[in-house]
Amino acid sequence: MAHNYHMLAYAAMMRGESKKATDAIKDLLAGVPEEVIKHSAAMLDGFYAMPYELHLRFGRWDAMLAEPKPRDCFPLTTALWHYARGVSFAVKNDLAAAKAEQRAFAAAVQAVPKDAIFAQNLPPTSWVWLRKCSPAKSSIVTGKQTRPLPPCAKPHAAKTIDTTWSPRPGSSPCGTLSVRS
């Protein structure tokens, strides 16, 4: 059943249906019994980061910043929580907080087991790209690019930035970055 909610959320997200995607993820997470979390936290870890991806995808910066810190049993989710907070702070032009979250993200990555898997991906192989994209996305918001941007973060004149990390084979490990003026 979790797979169905997950696919529904992604389909709705790709169609721009914020409420449907959010409801699907809420239903997915609400349906996981506490006993299953205790015994299968490593397998479930990435699913608990899905609300953060939705917040970033739909530009819900304040909602992302209001998200509580994840449980200690979810190191991947915790790392992505810091990443999403960093992007949200950057978009809100709070670069000091964005840089603090960027440092926290780098530290949290160290807590993710090297054999952690979410979907068909080994998340630690994606961290390099997330590290490159996070400061680049911060510089997009301020317009202060001090070095060339990675391919995933090429901006145009922007008023709104919609960004998300997507752990899908064949997708950019930085996620999608669409800029609308």
Q: Each residue of 78-102: b (16+ CB within 10 Å) or e?
A: bbbbbbbbbbbbbbeebbebbbebb
23 within some domain: no
pLDDT in tens, 146-166: 444 344 443 333 333 334 443
The reply to whether 121 falls in a domain is yes
Please tell me the predicted confidence (pLDDT) of residue 49.
Answer: 92
- To the question of pTM greater than 0.85 for the whole model, the response is no
Query: Who's near 129: CB < 8 A, 6+ residues apart?
Result: 150, 152, 172, 173, 174
Binned at pLDDT 50, 70 and 90, residue 142 comes out as very low
Whether residue 95 is contained in a domain is answered as yes
Residues 55 and 164 sit within 8 Å (Cβ to Cβ): no
Mean pLDDT of 23-33: 93
Q: How many CB atoms lie within 10 A of CB 34?
A: 6
Dihedral sign, Cα of residue 134, residue 140, residue 145, residue 151: positive
The single residue listed with the structure tokens 């960093």 is 86
Percentage of the chain with pLDDT > 90? Answer: 40
Q: Residue 160: inside a domain, yes or no?
A: yes
Domain count, the chain: 1
In a domain, 80, yes or no: yes
48 domain-assigned: no
Is residue 148 situated within a structural domain?
yes
Alpha carbon distances (Å) from 62 to 12, 42, 59: 21, 28, 9
Residues 147 and 153: their CA atoms lie apart, in Å, by 12
For residue range 79-107, what is the model confidence (pLDDT) as tens digits?
Answer: 999 999 999 998 888 989 998 998 999 89
Half-sphere CA count of 22, side-chain side, radius 13 A: 14
User: How many whole angstroms separate alpha carbon 111 and alpha carbon 3?
Assistant: 26
Query: Is there a domain that residue 129 lies in?
Result: yes
Domain holding 109, by residue range, is 57-180
pLDDT value at position 116? Answer: 78
CA 134 to each of CA 34, 99, 138: distance values in angstroms, whole numbers, following the listed order:
33, 9, 6
